[in-house]
Amino acid sequence: MIRNTMRWTAICVVSLSASVAFAADGLPGDINPGIALRRKADIRLDKETLTISRQRIVVEDVFTGTSKDKQFVPVIFTMPAMHVQQKDSENGIRDLRFAVNGMAIKPARKLTVMLGDKDIAWRIATMGWKDAELIAFLRDGQVPAGKLPLPAAWFDRQGRPRFQLRESYNWDQWFAPGRAVTIRHSYVPATTGENAINPSQAIQRVGEASCMDEGRQAVVKSLDAGNGVEWTGLRYRIAGSRGWRPGAQDFTLRVDTGGDFLATCMTGGKPVDKRVQQFRAGNISMDRAIDLVFVRSARQSP
């Protein structure tokens, strides 16, 4: 059982052997991504430091080129699918920042329009549509003046688009033999959650994804001071490319709980202070999702 004295800092995260237990169903909402390489390259990921809080995700990767020759490799950060009907959504990824060896960079932005496994953005461009016009059309259903209508086959019988819009940011990076390159990126994450909800309802909705056993459920219930609880869910995918595997040789995860109770299916962390838990592992597996649920007493209505 988790004692109430530990409720603000109790957490379960990645084990030292990098063995992670994942629930059958993850949290709802978008998965927050990391960077990846657009082609296979002879590059070793020596170290990854990942800092997660409800307010920001910060990732710092240290790479070393293992080829005898200098490599010119495209690096890409792909956003989750756009929810164009949800204008100015507060939970979407924003305030993206990138830096290489401590110097801020501005990657090129590209809008992809994925119909199945094909990018049809070029076809839309040849019809004279601009990105902003396409997004506006999907929000209000009005074809821009003077533009050809999009093919009917791109929509279902209810008029909903069969395609998805995704923003990506990319740049070309040199990797010299035996020389370290540090790439840092950060952003406000996409989250999901509810406020002033009954603790039992919160447990029912996210308990499986965050492995809430009886002890953790008792902690969540104890946070209800008469106004319910507030929970925030955050999903992060440890990104990567085939050339990085088996993964970072030195992996550090720091979770800033902000004083909230945190539930997750990962195990093995050690407290740094009352707010922060730190977890270290060697050869952490790539392409894995981390599910975190932050729980606190509900805010009172104004």
Number of domains in the chain: 1
Of the candidates 130, 174, 127, the one whose C-alpha atom is nearest the C-alpha of residue 154 is 127
What mean pLDDT value characterizes the chain?
A: 84
Statement: residue 57 has pLDDT above 50? yes
Looking at the chain, how many residues does it have? Answer: 302
Statement: residue 24 has pLDDT above 50? no
Reported pTM: 0.84
In a domain, 197, yes or no: yes
In a domain, 31, yes or no: yes
- For 135, the enclosing helix (H) or strand (E) is helix 131-140
Statement: residue 220 has pLDDT above 90? yes
Residue found under tokens 């549509």: 129
> Domain range for residue 109?
4-120+163-297
77 touches 107 (CB < 8 A): yes
Q: What pLDDT digit, counting tens, does each position of 238-266 carry? A: 766 555 555 677 888 899 999 999 998 87
212 DSSP 8-state letter = -
149 DSSP 8-state letter = P
89 touches 30 (CB < 8 A): no
Q: What is the structure's pLDDT at 283?
A: 56
In a domain, 150, yes or no: no
Query: In DSSP terms, which residues pair with 172 in a beta bridge?
Result: 74
Q: What is the mean predicted confidence (pLDDT) over 176-195?
A: 95
- Of 158 and 246, which is predicted with more confidence? 158
In a domain, 157, yes or no: no
In a domain, 156, yes or no: no
CATH number at residue 15: 2.60.40
Q: What is the structure's pLDDT at 286?
A: 63
In a domain, 147, yes or no: no
In a domain, 130, yes or no: no
In a domain, 155, yes or no: no
51 token code pair: 């800092």
